[in-house]
């Protein structure tokens, strides 16, 4: 087994703190043994984008280090942008092992004895993560290369195992080299390149391979050295020195070749690596091994491919459809995931547009939600190139989540069909061998790959869509109640940003909370939900979450339930609703009113004063401003109590979109929520007059009482 980012990691260490103030990073050091990669190290050609080099939400540049299992390596720490005290920074890996920093800012670390993805974190004196390095641990693999002279062709002396091992060291791959020879009298000249879309080799290449066929072993790689080569141009018109189809074990080297040529072609064969350029982004711009600039760099995602190529080994005889100038792409017409516990589907760009399919040619970014533990099926409708069309075909597939959970789609027979326009297509349904897991996924890419099952599997399609897993316990309670479950899915997904790792619970909460802070929360149909729109105090139904969705209006308790249950739907169990009351009593021993933070015309913070005659809920006229609430700029300004959500020791006030504030149950210290939310207190006396006291900022004047807890 190999390591890298395919290994399922501990949830706690998957994601950087979203609030971390990143100030330092990591650099390669001259004495390092294995690979180091980051986007700032030079031009990365067609790979210079977030798909290959993602950044954190605040723009932090992730960097990557490779290492062999059980071995030791080194990395430099870059303090140039760090404003804190260097000696206070602590470095730990994801297992909590502390790493020692030398005087020259070099970290020494030793890899585990099994393939894995480790991280090195930097923490400041307050325990905030200020840096992160991906450490990809690989088992050393050895590949056997046979260099075959055709008709006495020359082999450059620079081509050695040591030379290849140095180039491929970042991928923790070594080579052994042996030589052989064959004579083919009829082969006077040799023509470069593959044959056509369904064959990786041309007639000259096939003649060589057929002559040597009995000596070819599936576990070896063979490079045939030939002279007198004609038409040495690739599809871009560039002169080339060799040819090896991606994923094959046989290639050709021209006119003696060179160490770089051999390494480049083995990149195609051993690692299934593509070129570092395209027709619109010309070669020679990078120092990557897979460019034509004679560079030897390997990028971090190439380490993974070399260690674990995403394809099946191809012998030379098998006409493979992913070699040079070869395509076997299925045209996916529709794709749908079916489940008894599937939440309604909506287009990412317009949540009011309900969809009937997950994938159609015009819509590729689709949001889907399922309840955890659900079984599911995949229905797909597609066409195939004419050369691959048969009356009956066998297709299989797989899905691989961001967390490396693999979902297999077993072999299924598909029959050829013809629609009313004469289009030939196939349609089949796969029942997954897995259920959606019970772990937190939040909102992830779930690429699905389809393979045509023949002598060797032919990959015909790869489709990316997003799936969110919801906690069934909370979601089932409100399923089909005024789009409540769908709205929880919508509120969870709408603020998603691209991620290369599953999100931590804190990141999930932050993304959901972001939708509440804008004070424009809507249901999944795009209809606004209001906080105290009618300023009605006698409607007890307004405390219910169901009423918030049926009447589009709710109290602070209803809003607290909405935020709490949306978090709970993601499988986060540390969720509580607290009731907040003032410490002062009225003359009839009822609780005093609490006023949301407004600006009073007068009053003081030491004692209650009579401002004017009035009755309960008459405080709005005493405030020059009131705090705006959800979709309501002038909600009720005073009340007997208030409800908030406390999660992971943070206070969230969904009604007003304020917070999070640190939670403390210290009765002697004013809470952060109180300081930022309370303008003052109201008291009534026997004379039915209102008495006002402003909030005293150095004194705690409210109490938090737990109203509901998921624990």
pLDDT tens digits, one per residue of 373-404: 777 788 888 888 777 788 888 888 887 665 55
Query: Assign residue 209 a region: left if phi > 0, alpha if psi is -120 to 50, beta otherwise?
Result: alpha
**pLDDT for 303 beyond 90:** yes
Identify the helix (H) or strand (E) that includes residue 206: helix 203-212
Query: pLDDT category, 492, cuts 50, 70, 90?
Result: confident
pLDDT digits (tens, 9 = 90+) for 645-693: 999 999 999 999 999 999 987 776 778 888 888 888 877 766 667 777 7
Q: Give the confidence band of 20 by pLDDT, cuts at 50, 70, 90.
A: low
88 or 524, greater pLDDT: 88
More confident position, 234 or 254:
254
- The pairing of strands 366-371 and 406-418 is unpaired
Q: What percent of the chain has pLDDT over 70?
A: 71
Of residues 151 and 453, more confidence is placed in 151
- In the prediction, which pLDDT does 532 show? 84
pLDDT higher than 70, residue 696: yes
* Residue, of 611 and 12, whose pLDDT is higher: 611
Q: How many residues are listed for the chain in this entry?
A: 711
Residue 656 has φ and ψ, to the nearest 5°, of -110, 0
Name the average pLDDT for the chain.
77
Gap between the Cα atoms of 702 and 688, Å rounded: 23
5 pLDDT band (50/70/90 cuts)?
Answer: very low
Q: In this structure, how many other beta carbons lie within 10 angstroms of the beta carbon of residue 190?
A: 24
DSSP string, 386-401: GGG--SEEEEEEEEE-
Is residue 617's pLDDT more than 80?
no
User: Which three-class secondary structure state does DSSP give residue 684?
Assistant: strand
* Spatial separation of the C-alpha atoms in residues 529 and 554, rounded to whole Å: 8
Residue 160 has pLDDT above 90, yes or no: yes
Counting runs of H as helices and runs of E as strands, what totals does the chain give?
10, 40
pLDDT (average), residues 408-421? 87
Give the pLDDT confidence score for residue 625 in this predicted structure: 61
Q: What pLDDT shows up at residue 362?
A: 45
Q: What is the pLDDT of residue 324?
A: 34
| Whole-angstrom distance, CA of residue 594 vs CA of residue 678 | 7
Q: What per-residue confidence (pLDDT) applies to 64? A: 93
Dist. CA 135–CA 120, nearest whole Å: 7
- Looking at residue 604, its pLDDT comes to 61
Residue 354 in contact with residue 367, Cβ under 8 Å?
Answer: no
Lowest-confidence pick of 84-93, 239-248, 329-338, 414-423: 329-338
Rounded average pLDDT over 92-98 = 86
Using DSSP, state whether 24 is helix, strand or coil. Answer: coil
Label residue 456 by pLDDT band (50, 70, 90). Answer: low
Question: Which of 153-167, 169-183, 581-595, 651-665 has the weakest average pLDDT?
Answer: 581-595
More confident residue, 6 or 619: 619
Rounded to whole angstroms, how far apart are CA atoms 682 and 653? 21
């Amino acid at each position: 087994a190999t390591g890298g980012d395919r290994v399922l990691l501990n949830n706690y260490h998957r994601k950087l703190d979203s609030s971390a103030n990143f100030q330092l990073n990591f650099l390669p050091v001259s004495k390092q043994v294995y690979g180091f990669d980051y986007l700032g190290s030079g031009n990365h050609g067609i790979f210079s984008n977030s798909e290959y080099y993602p950044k954190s939400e605040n723009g932090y540049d992730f960097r990557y280090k490779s290492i062999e299992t059980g071995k030791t390596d080194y990395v430099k720490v870059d303090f140039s942008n760090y404003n804190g005290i260097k000696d206070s920074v602590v470095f730990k890996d994801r297992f909590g092992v502390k790493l020692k920093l030398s005087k020259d800012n070099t970290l020494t670390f030793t890899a585990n004895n099994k393939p894995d993805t480790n991280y090195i974190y930097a923490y400041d004196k307050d325990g905030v993560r200020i840096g992160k390095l991906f450490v990809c641990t690989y088992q050393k693999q050895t590949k056997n290369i046979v260099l075959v002279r055709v008709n006495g062709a020359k082999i450059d002396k620079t081509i050695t195992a040591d030379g290849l091992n140095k180039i491929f060291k970042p991928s923790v791959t070594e080579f052994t080299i042996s030589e052989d020879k064959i004579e083919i009298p009829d082969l006077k000249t040799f023509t470069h390149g593959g044959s056509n879309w369904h064959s990786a080799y041309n007639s000259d290449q096939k003649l060589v391979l057929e002559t040597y066929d009995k000596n070819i072993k599936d576990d070896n790689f063979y490079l045939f050295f030939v002279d007198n080569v004609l038409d040495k141009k690739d599809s871009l018109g560039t002169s080339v020195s060799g040819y090896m189809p991606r994923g094959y074990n046989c290639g050709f080297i021209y006119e003696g070749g060179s160490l770089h040529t051999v390494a480049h072609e083995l990149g195609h064969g051993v690692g299934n690596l593509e070129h570092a350029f395209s027709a619109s982004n010309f070669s020679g711009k990078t120092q990557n091994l897979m460019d034509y600039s004679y560079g030897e760099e390997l990028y971090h995602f190439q380490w993974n491919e070399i260690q674990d190529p995403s394809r099946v080994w191809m012998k030379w005889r098998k006409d493979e459809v992913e070699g040079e100038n070869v395509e076997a792409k299925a045209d996916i017409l529709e794709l749908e995931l079916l489940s008894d516990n599937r939440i309604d589907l909506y287009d990412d760009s317009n949540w009011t547009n309900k969809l009937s399919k997950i994938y159609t040619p015009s819509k590729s970014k689709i949001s889907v939600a399922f309840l955890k533990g659900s079984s599911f099926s995949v229905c797909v409708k597609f066409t195939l190139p004419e050369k691959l069309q048969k009356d009956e075909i066998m297709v299989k597939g797989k899905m691989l989540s961001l967390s490396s959970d693999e979902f297999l789609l077993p072999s299924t027979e598909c029959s050829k069909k013809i629609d009313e326009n004469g289009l030939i297509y196939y349609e089949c349904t796969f029942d997954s061998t897995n259920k959606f897991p019970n772990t937190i996924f939040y909102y992830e890419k779930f690429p699905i790959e389809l393979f045509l099952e023949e002598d060797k599997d032919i990959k015909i399609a790869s489709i990316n869509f997003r799936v969110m897993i919801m906690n069934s316990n909370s979601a089932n309670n409100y399923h089909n109640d005024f789009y409540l479950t769908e709205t929880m899915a919508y509120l969870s997904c709408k603020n998603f940003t691209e991620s290369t790792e599953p999100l931590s619970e804190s990141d999930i909460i932050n993304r959901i909370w972001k939708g509440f802070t804008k004070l424009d929360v809507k249901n999944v149909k795009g209809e606004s939900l209001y906080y105290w729109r009618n300023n009605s105090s006698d409607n007890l139904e307004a405390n219910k979450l169901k009423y918030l969705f049926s009447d589009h209006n709710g109290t602070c308790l209803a809003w607290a339930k909405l935020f709490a249950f949306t978090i709970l739907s993601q499988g986060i169990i540390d969720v509580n609703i607290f009731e907040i009351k003032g410490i002062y009593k009225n003359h009839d021993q009822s609780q005093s009113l609490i006023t949301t933070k407004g600006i009073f015309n007068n009053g003081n913070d030491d004692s209650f004063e009579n401002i004017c005659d009035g009755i309960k809920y008459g405080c709005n006229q005493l405030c020059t401003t009131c705090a705006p609430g959800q979709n309501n700029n002038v909600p009720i300004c005073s009340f007997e109590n208030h409800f908030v959500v406390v999660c992971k020791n943070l206070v969230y006030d969904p009604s007003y979109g304020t917070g999070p504030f640190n939670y403390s149950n210290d009765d002697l210290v004013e809470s952060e929520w109180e300081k930022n939310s309370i303008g003052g207190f109201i008291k009534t006396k026997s004379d039915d007059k209102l008495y006002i006291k402003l909030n005293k900022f150095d004194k705690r004047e409210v109490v938090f009482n737990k109203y509901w807890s998921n624990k």
